[in-house]
Amino acid sequence: CCHACLSSSPVPILFPFTPLCCPSRSSILTGRYPHNHEVRNNSLTGNCSSALWQKGPEAEAFPIYLSKQKYQTFFAGKYLNQYGKKEVGDVAHVPPGWDQWHALVGNSQYYNYTLSVNGKAEKHGDSYEKDYLTDLIVNRSLRFLDDRSPQHPFFLMLSPPAPHSPWMAAPQYQKMFSDVQAPRDGSFNKLGKDKHWLLRQPVNPMPNSSINFLDDAYRKRWQTLLSVDDMVEMLVKKLDSMKELDNTYIFYTSDNGYHTGQFSLPIDKRQLYEFDIRIPLMVRGPGIKPNQTLQAPVLNIDLAPTILDISGVNLSTVNVDGQSFLAPSLRNGTARPFFLVEYTGEGHPTTDPACPKLGPGLSQCFPDCVCEDAYNNTYACVRTLDSKNNLQYCEFADSESFVEVYNLTSDPHQLENIVKKVDPTILQAMNQRLIKLQSCVGDSCRNID
């Protein structure tokens, strides 16, 4: 929630240009592409909440600018996957710019977790009434609103664990959606032919054990989100009772997409396809007309400059790669003809016991020996999305120098890699755009020819 007084318009669909938690969240906080904030994956060695992150990008994240604008700031929930580790400051490390800090140590949990509460450890158990994290987040946010100074604006960032694993729904929701299963359309249970080697490994068609596994995950994810629905309702009602609802922007989105059975991959993210890189973005606030949808692309790197734009910060003074989507040119799709998607794969140095036949270098191996990530699942893509073109061109950093190209106008589910059918001059142009995007900084990310 961002309390402010500006007019805006309905906003488009969001692309988290890296399909993984920590790099995406780091981009939300900084407004920068991963190659500029240098958080590559969810590990400390990949700079997730590392000392390098804390000394550099975190010290220039958007909450600092809000604080300078006299905003009262509040954070609760999951921050970054490696936050709170002893080797990088433990719970005493509170990122600058936050007045109230209630951050989860480590990755998503619903019970039996530790919070850093303004730099002090607070341990929680397994009592629904006292400890269920989604409910705790909203309860503390309501208390913050009660205690705030009415003389200054406020900003809250609520980051619940849902719908992340381990998928522990509130007791009253654990029997919901018993007849729901993952959608069977598009690329569900399809063979990943003509794709990067990792996508050619899964058994196709999927065995019943994998399908039952992913259906169960899909249902449990929905169950956990019912508590998020409650959180949104309580927050909106609170703002209304304070007579601040019409003067407050509410952004509702996520950090990455997710797949359940697409190309026979049971569950995870980390892939370059739409199901992992494209997510909804909903915004309400002053001047926004209800029930409108725009298709122009917005990126995670646009959230920070948009929030700062609302707060009155001069964006020319801020080091960001993104741009405010308060700007009409971005909302109508004319300001960004193409953009970057990039990911650095993770793997184990030794063979995974769950999948010995595929050897070392893999990770995220699920039932039936389907591994969803690898060191060489490292890629960069240029995505073109405007009124004329809907294309994706991707290059892998692997021994094959593998390339994937999709025309999403004719093939929205990315079933056919058309790299061998495309005019070589188009491939060359896309390659040159990709090279520029991979080295862009600030203005050059927004003004690629």
* CA-to-CA separations, 265 to 26, 202, 272, in angstroms, rounded: 26, 7, 13
- Give the separation between CA 275 and CA 183, rounded to whole angstroms: 12
**From 21, 365, 394, 440, the catalytic residue:** 21
Instruction: Please tell me whether the peptide bond between 57 and the residue prior to it is cis, using omega within 30 degrees of 0.
Output: no
Dump strand ranges (E) for 269-366.
282-284, 294-299, 338-343, 362-366
- Give the separation between CA 136 and CA 130, rounded to whole angstroms: 7
Residue 438: alpha-carbon gap to chain centroid: 19
Beta pairing partners, 279: 14
* CA-to-CA separations, 361 to 200, 266, 276, 349, 373, in angstroms, rounded: 16, 19, 22, 5, 9
Q: Does the annotation count 440 as an active-site position?
A: no
Q: Are 322 and 31 in contact (CB under 8 A)?
A: yes
Which class for 114: exposed (0-12), middle (13-18), buried (19 or more C-beta within 10 A)?
Answer: middle
- Give the separation between CA 380 and CA 357, rounded to whole angstroms: 28
Helix (H, G, I), strand (E, B) or coil at 409: coil
Q: What is the DSSP letter of 262?
A: B
* CA-to-CA separations, 152 to 4, 70, 145, 243, in angstroms, rounded: 10, 6, 12, 15
Which class for 236: exposed (0-12), middle (13-18), buried (19 or more C-beta within 10 A)?
Answer: middle
- Give the separation between CA 369 and CA 390, rounded to whole angstroms: 34
* CA-to-CA separations, 213 to 207, 229, 263, 299, in angstroms, rounded: 10, 25, 15, 32
* CA-to-CA separations, 104 to 161, 303, 410, in angstroms, rounded: 9, 22, 43
Residue 160: alpha-carbon gap to chain centroid: 13
Q: What angle do CA 1, 57, 122 make, to 5 degrees?
A: 60
At residue 58, what is the residue type? E
Question: Which residues belong to the active site?
Answer: 21
